[in-house]
């Protein structure tokens, strides 16, 4: 099993550009999550999904959108990139809300 | 506000030392507790779950005090490879919150 995979590993965006961060898992997990981690800070939940077709906002959803068309994939969309979105983005998955979350390797995003 | 507080450190210790990290959480409704380890520029990885009765995994011992809303991690006989940031994590089992992460405690083990 590859676990949780994320692409790209690193990206530089200009202000106002858009992009999609990809996340996939092959563990047949129902729950998937997107977090961002700023330097010296804890992880903050952006969006989560409890299954295909179901998504909901986390603590810091502004400026982002998600979709969950399949169990495996959970892309994160940035429509109008802003410098405040410079961060490391981690995708995670778990079998249930009570179970351990497994993280992908992260995407480092720099918005200039 | 639901929060998890940790001493950020850094803790600088020699190999072989015993070091303890503490963590407090604000919401008494918390249901499960974890310690994750995060290496520099890497993703967090589960180190161990924390049970009410306390639990041990090799050199690592985790304790939970629900009355005081306090979690601890003890590392014995520190190794160079233990150098990392240790994240205290609390799960409230409530939709929209998932895991609440502390900011982490940085450990540096030197020879």
> A25-37, pLDDT tens digit by residue?
999 999 999 999 9
Candidates A43, A98, A105; nearest CB to B101: A43
Q: Is A101 in Cβ contact with B43 (below 8 Å)?
A: no
The answer to whether residue A2 neighbours chain B at the CB level (below 8 Å) is no
- pLDDT-derived band at B98 (thresholds 50, 70, 90) equals low
Distance in angstroms (rounded) separating the CA atoms of residues B7 and B22: 7
What's the average model confidence in pLDDT over A73-77?
A: 98
What's the average model confidence in pLDDT over A69-78?
A: 97
pLDDT of residue B104: 93
Coil, helix or strand for B71? strand
What's the average model confidence in pLDDT over A45-70?
A: 94
What's the average model confidence in pLDDT over B20-39?
A: 90
pLDDT of residue A76: 98
Q: Bigger pLDDT: B95 or A49? A: A49
Which is nearest to A93 in space by CA: A36, A24, A45?
A: A24
Cβ neighbors of A39 (< 8 A, separation 6 or more) are: none
pLDDT of residue A2 exceeding 70: yes
pLDDT of residue A100: 85
Q: Is B99 in Cβ contact with A100 (below 8 Å)?
A: no
Q: Strand B11-14 to strand B105-110: parallel, antiparallel, or no bridges (unpaired)?
A: parallel
Partners of A27 in beta bridges? none
The 8-class DSSP code of residue A73 comes to: B
Instruction: Find the closest chain B residue to A108 by CA distance.
Output: B41
Instruction: Find the closest chain A residue to B37 by CA distance.
Output: A103
pLDDT of residue B95: 54
Coil, helix or strand for A84? helix
The 8-class DSSP code of residue A98 comes to: T
What's the average model confidence in pLDDT over B59-83?
A: 95
Residues of chain A in contact with residue B102, where contact means CB-CB under 8 angstroms, are: 42
């Amino acid at each position: 099993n590859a676990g949780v995979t994320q692409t790209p590993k690193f990206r530089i965006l200009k202000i106002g550009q858009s992009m999609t961060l990809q996340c996939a898992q092959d563990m047949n997990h129902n729950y998937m999550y997107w977090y961002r981690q700023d330097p010296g800070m804890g992880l903050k939940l952006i969006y989560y999904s409890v299954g295909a077709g179901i998504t909901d906002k986390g603590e810091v959803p502004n400026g982002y959108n998600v979709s969950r068309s399949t169990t495996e994939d959970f892309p994160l969309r940035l429509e109008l990139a802003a410098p405040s979105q410079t961060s490391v983005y981690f995708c995670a998955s778990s079998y249930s809300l009570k179970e351990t979350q497994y993280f992908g390797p992260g995407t480092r995003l720099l918005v200039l | 506000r639901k929060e998890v507080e940790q001493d950020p450190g850094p803790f600088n210790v020699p190999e072989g030392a015993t070091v303890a990290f503490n963590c407090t959480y604000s919401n008494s409704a918390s249901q499960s507790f974890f310690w994750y380890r995060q290496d520099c520029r890497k993703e967090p990885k589960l180190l161990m779950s924390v049970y009410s009765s306390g639990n041990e995994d090799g050199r690592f011992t985790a304790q939970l005090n629900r009355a005081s809303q306090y979690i601890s991690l003890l590392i014995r006989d520190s190794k160079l490879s233990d150098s990392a940031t240790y994240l205290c994590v609390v799960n409230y089992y409530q939709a929209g919150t998932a895991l609440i992460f502390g900011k982490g405690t940085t450990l540096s083990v030197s020879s």
